Amino acid sequence: MKMRAARMHGYKQPLVLEEVEVPKILPTEVLVHVEAAGMCRTDFQLVDGYFTALDLPFPATPGHEIAGSIAAVGAGVPAASGLAKGDQVVVVGGWGCGECDQCRVGNHQICGKGRWPGFGLYGGYGEYVPVPYQWLIRLGSENNLKPEELAPLTDAGLTPYRGIKKLQQAGVLGPNSILAVNGLGGLGMYAVQYAKLLSGGSLVVALARSDEKLAIAKEFGADVIINVKGKTLDQVRKDLIRETGRGEFNAVIDCSGAEESIGLGTGLLATSGAYCSVGLVGNRINIPLFPLVAREQTFYGSFWGNYVDLSEVIELAKKGQIKHQINIVRFEDVNDCLDRLRDSDFVGRAVLTYK
Ligand SMILES: [Zn+2]
Ligand SMILES: [Zn+2]
């Protein structure tokens, strides 16, 4: 049987749209029919060679945000898993080794030997993906979410969730706290919502360079929006004082990762504030040491999310607590869409479908 796939045959080249064999599954794998695949900044970064350290084998199929249905279940998949043909599922990223210290405490997404769909032969930019049975979450019969809403939740809608949980655990959120969401790309639009859901009443300030994105952030619950385009740190501080009466953030989740974004966020971080980076646009962080030490600030890296984090996100979505901002992309348009992602042209998440 054949399927459509958009594959990389080398770095810095357009994806090749082709008909290829549907993957065979191992006995402990499940074949997932991809109904929607979120398109992430990471995908064009992969194409552009940002992750050359991965030693990617070619051809490679991008696409690590996957929702669909089960097309086949391997003969060795335990009946206790409850997985059956036709079930609606999302794919959990970061398939850990199961043996290391990180895997043992459930943080399989930071396992040193982990694998991902979308960073090898198979990914969501192809119509079928083999997945080890442990890494699926079933939606159940009461599911009322569409595949295109579900797919982005496995990364864009998951990564900021874990990041804000870290800030929550750091004890910097609550009624007298200001939490900034820095950057409103695919991740930031979800971050604003988790900022409201998880921050115990913190004032949520969204920072971005696009009025259009800021308007949606306001709709999604941001208390204050500030357009930072072309502004110095002091100008942003003045805007913040005008809007909130205070000139610093107690917590920041950085969904961009660009050098200027981190400079702004850390420059406005309060004493004993906490900063969490989830965005990966830039390469380096360059922040002054003395304020970090003398003001006892904390910096967190937060990567993707684990099975528990994703289960919580899916549950919130099922209960209607997450709003979706989706742009449907047809399979034929996948290369155009990658170009638009390079230009940060999308408001919300681009999602590939095969209809
Ligand atoms: Zn991603
Ligand atoms: Zn491991």
Domains of the chain and any CATH numbers = 2-156+305-353 (3.90.180.10), 159-301 (3.40.50.720)
**Contact residues for 300 (Cβ-Cβ < 8 A; gap 6+):** 163, 166, 167, 170, 274, 275, 276, 277
Check residue 114 and give its pLDDT.
92
Span between the terminal Cα atoms of the chain, in Å: 18
| CA of residue 78 to ligand 2 center, whole Å | 21
Report the separation in Å between the CA atom of 222 and the middle of ligand 1, taken as the mean of its atom positions: 23
Amino acid identity at 73: V
Residue 269: strand pairing partners: 249
**pLDDT confidence bin for 55, thresholds 50/70/90:** confident
Relative to the alpha carbon of 101, which ligand is closest? 2
pTM: 0.95
Q: What average pLDDT is seen over the chain?
A: 95
Rounded-to-integer distance, Cα 239 and Cα 246, Å: 10
Residues 80-90: pLDDT tens digits? 999 999 999 99
Ligand 1 geometric centre to CA of 41 (Å): 6
Calculate how far, in angstroms, residue 80's C-alpha sits from the geometric centre of ligand 1.
30
Ligand nearest to the CA of 51: 1
> pLDDT, tens digit, for every residue of 100-135?
999 999 999 999 999 999 999 999 999 999 999 999
Instruction: Tell me how far the alpha carbon of residue 187 lies from the centroid of ligand 1, in angstroms.
Output: 9
What pLDDT, on a 0 to 100 scale, did the predictor assign at position 199?
A: 95
**Closest ligand (CA of 115):** 2
- Quote the CA–CA distance of 179 and 185 in Å, as a whole number: 17
Q: What is the DSSP string of 140-185?
A: -TT----HHHHGGGGTTTTHHHHHHHHHHHTT--STT-EEEEE--S
CA dihedral 133, 135, 137, 138 (to 10 degrees): -10
pLDDT confidence of residue 50: 87
Distance from the CA of 157 to the center of ligand 1, in angstroms? 10
Residue 54's pLDDT is what? 82
Q: Cα angle vertex 285, ends 266, 234, to 5°?
A: 30
pLDDT at 48 over 80: yes
- 11: Cβ–Cβ under 8 A, 6 or more apart, which residues? 47, 48, 49, 52
Please give the pLDDT value at position 37.
Answer: 98
Using alpha carbons, select from 245, 225, 238, 253 the residue that is nearest to residue 176: 245
Quick one: which ligand is closest to 117's CA?
Answer: 1
**Ligand 1 centroid, distance to 188 Cα (angstroms):** 13
pLDDT digits (tens, 9 = 90+) for 206-225: 999 999 999 999 999 999 99
From ligand 2's centre to the CA of 100, what distance in Å?
4
pLDDT tops 80 at residue 338: yes
Residue with more model confidence, 342 or 238: 238
User: Per-residue confidence at 186, pLDDT binned at 50, 70, 90?
Assistant: confident
> Which ligand has an atom closest to residue 158 CA?
1
Q: How far apart are CA 81 and CA 74, in angstroms?
A: 12
Q: How many Å lie between the centroid of ligand 1 and the Cα of residue 95?
A: 15
Give distance in angstroms: CA of 242 to centre of ligand 1.
Answer: 35
- DSSP codes of every residue in 67-115: EEEEEEE-TTS-GGG---TT-EEEEPS-B--SSSHHHHTT-GGG-TT-B
Least confident of 171-180, 238-247, 262-271, 285-294: 285-294
Distance 101 CA to ligand 2 centre (A): 7
CA–centroid distance, residue 155 to ligand 1 (Å): 5
Q: What would the mean pLDDT of 163-188 be, rounded to a whole number?
A: 96
Cα of 167 from ligand 1 centre, angstroms = 21
Question: pLDDT, tens digit, for every residue of 340-354?
Answer: 988 877 777 899 999
Cα–Cα distance between 45 and 119 in angstroms, integer? 12
Cα-to-centroid distance, 105 and ligand 1 (Å): 23
Ligand 1: distance of its center to the CA of 140 in Å?
25
